[in-house]
């Protein structure tokens, strides 16, 4: 673990040093609350039950830019997808998108392709439910286990691909340079495929994602004070149901099992180790750029049942563009006291001031 933390610290420092003026070079989208397994494990992610998604090749999310050089980095998440660094010899869109090619169903081809590894930290100054002045560092891995396309989705996909091939064949026969062919094909497919549902807008009928995360806590942000905090394995199973109005209804089942050092006395730093199981469900409706979801999770401890709890939240999200989301999470988190959970994330800066997004 020490190696990981040191590697992480070095990488983070390198990233910060590379930025001549860090504040100016940080992109607006870096101020999103990350959805890495580590943040989900700490119950800090906007939504604990997440829809399966495509991880980025390399993602760096910064929550609280404090420029704390010389110590463990605070409040950020780093996610890497190794697949995108490889040049494969036998890759096809059927394997990448887990689509049947007529010979193989390719249900499980996402396991290595969608696997991402992440490191996250959350520094708690004085917030509730965490030790004060403690850095929580977590390592996580997640991937797609199964993807199944329904009959109607496969039909829509074939319609799109057949129409595209027809245009591509015409362009291939033209007497143009390679660059002109690329531009002509792009222009023609945008024009002629307007009325056909695009591949990118078609979602698989059923997907299962799995994740594992481990978190340690570092009191006073010192490595010597390292202590186990939590670990967990979890699974998300999602049905993506297309609606007639072009919206989508998502029904997501959630299960998580793990061990945890329960904080029973903040002042004396007293913990009790116990294992827990979470069972939850999320319903989400998405229409164009707007989505609203309801999430409920029941947490049961194996011996310390007095710590059993539930999380019930409403999540409203508006997609400003591909990189920017505005979202609000409101509801009750697991803990018994002070459990009102509100999270407001807006990835925008007004004037020269930066708006920091921190869980309260």
Residues that bind other proteins (CB under 8 A): 54, 56-57, 84-94, 96-97, 101-102, 160-161, 164-165, 168-169, 171-173, 175, 177-179, 181-183, 185-186, 189, 198-200, 322
Q: Choose between 84 and 233: whose C-beta lies nearer to other proteins.
A: 84
Q: How far apart are CA 293 and CA 118, in angstroms?
A: 25
Smallest distance, other proteins to C-beta of residue 293, A: 21
Q: Choose between 224 and 321: whose C-beta lies nearer to other proteins.
A: 321
Q: Choose between 190 and 245: whose C-beta lies nearer to other proteins.
A: 190
Q: Choose between 87 and 244: whose C-beta lies nearer to other proteins.
A: 87
Collapsed DSSP state (helix, strand, coil) of residue 111: helix
Query: In this structure, is the dihedral angle defined by the CA atoms of residues 28, 29, 35 and 36, taken in order, positive or negative?
Result: negative
Q: Which two tokens mark 221? A: 């942000």
Smallest distance, other proteins to C-beta of residue 152, A: 17
Smallest distance, other proteins to C-beta of residue 174, A: 9
Contact 123, 138 (CB under 8 A): no
Smallest distance, other proteins to C-beta of residue 48, A: 23
Listed as own residue / partner, the contacts of 290-296 with beta carbons closer than 8 Å and 24 or more positions apart are: 290/317, 290/318, 290/319, 291/315, 291/316, 291/317, 291/318, 291/319, 292/316, 292/317, 293/47, 293/250, 293/317, 295/47, 295/48, 295/49, 295/331
Q: Choose between 178 and 337: whose C-beta lies nearer to other proteins.
A: 178
Q: How far apart are CA 172 and CA 170, in angstroms?
A: 6
Smallest distance, other proteins to C-beta of residue 255, A: 27
Q: How far apart are CA 348 and CA 35, in angstroms?
A: 18
Q: Choose between 91 and 220: whose C-beta lies nearer to other proteins.
A: 91
CB atoms within 10 A of CB 231: 19
From residue 130, give the alpha-carbon distance in Å to each of 4, 60, 127, 261, 327: 22, 24, 6, 11, 24
Q: Choose between 84 and 290: whose C-beta lies nearer to other proteins.
A: 84
Smallest distance, other proteins to C-beta of residue 91, A: 5
Total number of residues shown for the chain: 360
Smallest distance, other proteins to C-beta of residue 83, A: 9
């Amino acid at each position: 673990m020490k190696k990981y933390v040191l590697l992480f610290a070095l990488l983070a420092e390198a990233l910060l040093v590379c930025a001549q003026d860090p504040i100016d070079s940080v992109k607006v989208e870096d101020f999103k609350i990350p959805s890495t397994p580590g943040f989900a494990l700490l119950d800090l992610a906007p939504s604990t039950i997440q829809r399966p998604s495509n991880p980025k090749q390399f993602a760096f999310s910064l929550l609280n830019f404090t420029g704390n050089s010389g110590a463990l980095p605070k409040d950020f998440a780093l996610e890497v997808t190794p697949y995108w660094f490889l040049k494969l010899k036998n890759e096809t869109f059927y394997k990448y998108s887990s689509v049947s090619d007529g010979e193989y169903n390719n249900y499980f081809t996402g396991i290595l392709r969608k696997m991402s590894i992440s490191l996250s930290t959350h520094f708690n100054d004085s917030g509730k439910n965490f030790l004060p002045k403690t850095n929580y560092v977590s390592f996580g891995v997640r991937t797609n286990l199964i993807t199944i396309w329904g009959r109607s989705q496969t039909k829509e996909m074939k319609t799109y691909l057949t129409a595209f091939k027809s245009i591509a064949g015409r362009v291939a026969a033209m007497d143009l340079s390679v660059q002109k062919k690329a531009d002509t094909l792009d222009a023609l497919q945008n024009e002629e495929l307007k009325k056909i549902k695009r591949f990118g807008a078609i979602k698989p009928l059923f997907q299962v994602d799995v994740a594992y995360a481990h978190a340690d806590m570092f009191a006073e942000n010192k490595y010597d004070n390292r202590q186990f905090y939590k670990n967990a394995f979890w699974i998300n199973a999602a049905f993506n149901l297309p609606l007639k109005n072009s919206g989508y209804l998502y029904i997501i089942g959630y299960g998580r099992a793990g061990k945890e050092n329960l904080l029973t006395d903040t002042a004396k730093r007293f913990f009790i180790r116990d294992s827990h199981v979470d069972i939850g469900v999320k319903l989400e409706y998405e229409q164009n750029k707007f989505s609203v979801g309801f999430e409920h999770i029941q947490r049961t401890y194996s011996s310390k049942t007095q710590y059993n709890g539930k999380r019930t939240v409403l999540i409203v999200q508006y997609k400003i563009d591909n990189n920017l989301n505005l979202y609000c999470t409101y509801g009750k988190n697991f803990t018994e006291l002070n459990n009102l959970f509100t999270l407001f994330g807006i990835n925008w800066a007004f004037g020269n001031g930066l708006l920091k997004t921190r869980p309260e």
